[in-house]
Amino acid sequence: EVQLVESGGGLVQPGGSLRLSCAASGFTFRSYWMHWVRQAPGKGLVWVSRINSDGSSTGYADSVKGRFTISRDNAKNTLYLQMNSLRAEDTAVYYCARDQTVNYGMDVWGQGTTVTVSS
Amino acid sequence: QSALTQPASVSGSPGQSITISCTGTSSDVGGYKYVSWYQQHPGKAPKLMISEVSNRPSGVSNRFSGSKSGNTASLTISGLQAEDEADYYCSSYTSSSTLVFGGGTKLTVL
């Protein structure tokens, strides 16, 4: 079964850091681009970041550029999102998602992990 | 990058057809074929319904179709069913090599 499972969310104080992980299974992880998408409570989807299949190219939304870093370990079939200098507005459910065929269509999603930034 | 513009809500009766619009600019929707549509039920992860403007992934009902004209993309759902009630989001690749989502549309099946 094709599956993505996120972990690493939790409560963190403003200015703090958190690293999210996304474990992939059921498909050849190293062949796919991957994305992070977030959704604040009661709000819409917001794209956060993407990484190409070998990790050599990344992209970020302006709202997280310079604070978040996407990476991957193809040997471990795992995607990461390092989040630094966290703000209250980063509070959201964070989803990892697989890019269908480098067409920015995300065909496999995880269940999401919740990040709450609050003092 | 501003969010793409979608109507906040649309509604229709079972069996009817509805269309959800997604308006951007020539720097996103109008400039690229990488427009996708997602369905999200409450408390669930999004599901890809349409990619590359009009391509339907395997397993998605042929009642769902996508199109684009200029800077506006559209999702049409025909033969509306109760289980179609959900939030729908469009997304587009942008000239900044990023991705932008629409604000979302709540579909109510009357």
| pLDDT single digits (tens) B5-15 | 999 999 999 99
User: B61 vs chain A: nearest CA distance in angstroms?
Assistant: 15
Q: Provide the pLDDT for residue B42.
A: 96
Q: Do B40 and A45 touch (CB under 8 A)?
A: yes
User: Which positions 29-48 of B are in contact with A (Cβ < 8 Å)?
Assistant: 34, 36, 38, 40, 45-48
Instruction: State yes or no: pLDDT of A99 exceeds 80.
Output: yes
List the single residue in B3, B46, B51 with the smallest CB-CB distance to A103: B51
pLDDT band at A102 (very low <50, low <70, confident <90, very high): confident
Are the Cβ atoms of A109 and B45 closer than 8 angstroms?
Answer: yes
Could you give the CA distance from residue B48 to residue B37 in angstroms, rounded to a whole number? 6
Instruction: Report strand pairing: A68-73 vs A78-83.
Output: antiparallel
Residue % of chain B over a pLDDT of 90 = 98
The shares of helix, strand and coil residues in chain A, as percent rounded to the nearest 5, are 5, 50, 45
| Cβ atoms within 10 Å, residue B81 | 12
Measured at the alpha carbon of residue B44, what is the angle toward residues B43 and B49, in degrees to the nearest 5?
Answer: 140
For A11-58, the pLDDT digits (tens) are 999 999 999 999 999 999 999 999 999 999 999 999 999 999 999 999
Residues linked to residue B102 through DSSP beta bridges, in sequence order:
B4
Q: Does B3 touch chain A (CB under 8 A)?
A: yes
Q: Could you tell me if A26 and A100 are in contact, meaning their C-beta atoms sit under 8 angstroms apart?
A: no
